[in-house]
Amino acid sequence: MSLKNYTAKKKRNLNYLLKSMKEYKTCYLFLAPYAIVFGMFICAPVVVSIFYSITYFKIFEPPKFVGLQNYINLILGDDVFLTAVKNTFIMAAVTGPLGYLASFLFAWFIYELPRYLRAFVTLVFYAPSISGSAFMIWQVIFSSDSYGYINGLLIQLGIVERPILWLSDPNYMMATMLVVILWMSLGAGFLAFVAGLSTVDESLYEAGLVDGVKNRWQELWYITLPSMKGMLMFGAVMAITQSFGVADVTTALAGFPSTDYAVHTVVNHLVDFGSIRFEMGYASAIATLLFLTMILCNKAIQKMLARVGT
Amino acid sequence: MAKSKSNTSGMKRVLQVRRRRANRSRGGDGFIFTILAAFGVFFAYPLVYAINNAFKPLNEIFLVPPALFVKSPTMNNFADLFILMSRSWVSFSRYIFNTMFITVAGTIGLIVFASMGAYVVSKYPFPGSKKFFNLVVTTLMFTGYVTAIPNYLIVSGLGWVDTYRSVVIPAFAMPMGFFLLKQFIDTIPDTLIEAAKIDGGTEGWIFLKIIMPLIKPAWLTVMIFSIQALWNARASNFIYKEQLKTLPFALGQILGGGIARAGVGAAVTLFVMIVPLAAFMVTQSNVIATMANSGIKE
């Protein structure tokens, strides 16, 4: 292989690329409006914040390059961050898979209902996501005095003598948060599943029937799931995004910072540095680490979903 | 011989589909109903609570332990809300208009831009299409908390601070919308598009007349997400002029009154919830109805 050969090949490749780009001219026209806006308001900020993660940047002064110092400080010198990582992993490991499963199962159960009931039941299950800050109601339910619903009930039944501090006793805080997060987990993924189920080709079910599908569970595994792989992927990405991004709930219910940092999450930590202390470089480093973790999870799930229906 | 027998029984079962969906046992139906009913209560609780609260007189709002249902419903909270509104410096209808404009413009733009892009990325293997989609998937996972600062720098660099544009245009780029639409368009058979091309359809015509109607459930779903996000947008980073401020921002100021305004607060909560809720109900019945007549077939 001489150098001349190599450049000739490269040139041919480039020519080929240009030719096929010309061939798909209309495609680029169709994509351009979205691509431009996306580049400006989604991509650029992400790139900028990854860049900030290797700088010392305090909003009012220009950023100073510090290499990997932010990351080193995070991992070696920030105990609270390590607590936050642990908490976030617990939350993600429990609410991610469970929330995903619940989203799909409820969507599918609803699809099994008679048509006139579906819209209403979908609304009932989607209610926690649509009603904004409605999760504040959990504060009443888990209230730490005997007037809280759960404590009142437990005392009446004689199970406990003194009210349990659900929202400020580190022994119970995590469990309480998990319940609330799961309750909120029927979000974007759930709706996408409801819509996705409604586009599965009906004739496939009839064909399946002829081919010997015996019950609804077989129908689910061999026909429904494979025909909505795209939606399953969407739901998975949403589940990852939601379960790693917990922050508002812990702040609203357990306070900020929570007792002993028992439910302090990575995003809580990020908000602390980004919006309260204005250490943008450090906050960006936290965001970048979180982001990388989520991408790895996503890759793993993609591999798992490839096996659906086989 | 045996094979043909099983086939006829299969056909018989197909014919039964019209009356009762095949392969559905009564026991299974009962199981599903029970699960849905049990969890339904758990999930619907806050909505019922929020609606009831808005009609409670003050003494019921502060009842300990709180009651779920209202005993003597009143419209006082709404009356108080309107009195407070009429006292505000900028007329209240202006806040409502601002938020409505942002919501409608942002949502329409998102659906048009994202479905055009999603269509070509899904159906044509042009150079860069896979890479672009992977980029969209990746950005789905970046949290908004850190991009807030770079976003502000970009918007102010463009000179868009204190304009509707600062909220509307970035809304066009919502990666979730693009992703969802692309996943849906993937399920449309290529043969459908090829057939339309043979019949002489241009790209624009195919997109408008074939793709858009078929993915109605998808863009209706995207619409819900977009309305929810924009209707609740405070935009406090980008908009400082009182005349351009959004409804959630103005309502947030009302709620700043604290405990004395608990009644009004309950009314506000319902007021803000009602639009996404209504949008949701309208689109959901549509999403389910399209199923009856879409039947994407090769």
Alpha carbon B61 to its chain's center = 30
Taken in order of first residue, the domains within chain A and their CATH numbers are 1-52 (no CATH), 68-305 (1.10.3720.10)
Q: How many domains does chain B have?
A: 2
Q: State phi, psi for A29 to the nearest 5 degrees.
A: -60, -40
- Asked whether residue B111 falls in the same domain as residue B63, the answer is no
Query: What DSSP character marks residue A65?
Result: E
Residues B169 and B62 in one domain: no
Q: B237 and B259 share a domain?
A: yes
CB-facing half-sphere around the CA of B269: CA atoms within 13 A: 24
pLDDT in tens, B79-137: 888 887 777 777 778 888 999 999 999 999 999 999 999 999 999 988 889 999 999 98
Which SS3 state, helix, strand or coil, does residue A56 take? strand
B45 and B153 assigned to the same domain: no
User: Do B163 and B30 belong to one domain?
Assistant: no
Residues 137-176 of B with CB under 8 A from A: 137-143, 145-151, 153-154, 169-170, 172-173, 175-176
> What pLDDT score was predicted for residue A40?
92
A35 touches chain B (CB under 8 A): yes
Indicate if the pLDDT at residue A91 is higher than 90.
Answer: yes
Nearest to B185 by CA among B224, B218, B220: B218
**What ranges make up the beta strands (E) of chain B?**
none
| pLDDT tens per residue, range B217-243 | 888 889 988 998 898 888 877 888 888
- pTM reported for the whole predicted model: 0.82
Verify that B45 and B150 share a domain, yes or no: no
pLDDT for residue B132? 94
- Collapse the DSSP code of A64 into the 3-class scheme (helix H, G, I; strand E, B; otherwise coil) and give the result: strand
Residue B8 forms part of a structural domain:
no
Is there a single domain that holds both residue B54 and residue B145? Answer: no
Distance CA B169, CA B267 (A): 31
Q: Are both B121 and B165 inside the same structural domain?
A: yes
Q: Taking CB atoms and an 8 Å cutoff, what residues of chain A touch B291?
A: 198-199
> CB of B218 within 8 Å of any CB in chain A?
yes
CA angle B183, B188, B190 (to 5 degrees): 120
Same domain flag for B70 and B188: no
- Among the ranges given (A174-188, A262-276, B20-34), the one the predictor scored with the smallest mean pLDDT: B20-34
Same domain (yes/no): B160, B234: yes
- DSSP for A244-279? H---HHHHHHH-SSPGGGTT--HHHHHHIIIIIS--
- The answer to whether B18 contacts chain A (CB < 8 Å) is no
What does the block give as tokens for B84? 């407070």
Question: DSSP label at B208?
Answer: I
- Are residue B153 and residue B258 in the same domain, yes or no? yes
In a domain, B159, yes or no: yes
The secondary structure of B235-256 as a DSSP string is -TTT---GGG--HHHHHHHHHT
Cβ distance of A267 and B145 shorter than 8 Å: yes
ipTM: 0.82
Asked if residue B169 and residue B62 are part of one domain, the reply reads no
CA angle B167, A230, B117 (to 5 degrees): 45
Closest Cα partner for B176 from B210, B116, B225, B130? Answer: B225
B80 to chain A, minimum CA–CA distance in Å? 22
Final residue of a structural domain among B9, B44, B74: B74
Q: Which of B245, B158, B161, B124 is nearest to A44 (CA)?
A: B158
Query: What distance in Å separates residue A38's CA from the closest CA in chain B?
Result: 5
Please check whether residue B88 lies inside any domain of the structure. Answer: yes
Compute the distance between CA of residue A299 and CA of residue A226 in angstroms, rounded to an integer. Answer: 19
CATH of the domain at B137: 1.10.3720.10
Question: Of B11, B44, B74, which residue sits at a domain end?
Answer: B74
Number of A–B residue contacts, CB under 8 Å: 282
Looking up tokens 């950023």 gives A63
Answer whether A147 sits within 8 Å of B64, measured CB to CB. yes
A300 in reach of chain B (CB within 8 A):
no
Place of tokens 């109903």: B33
- Among B42, B74, B106, the domain-final residue is B74
Q: Nearest CA to A241 among A201, A188, A170?
A: A188
What residue numbers bound the domain in which B117 lies?
Answer: 82-294
pLDDT > 90: what percent of chain B?
Answer: 19
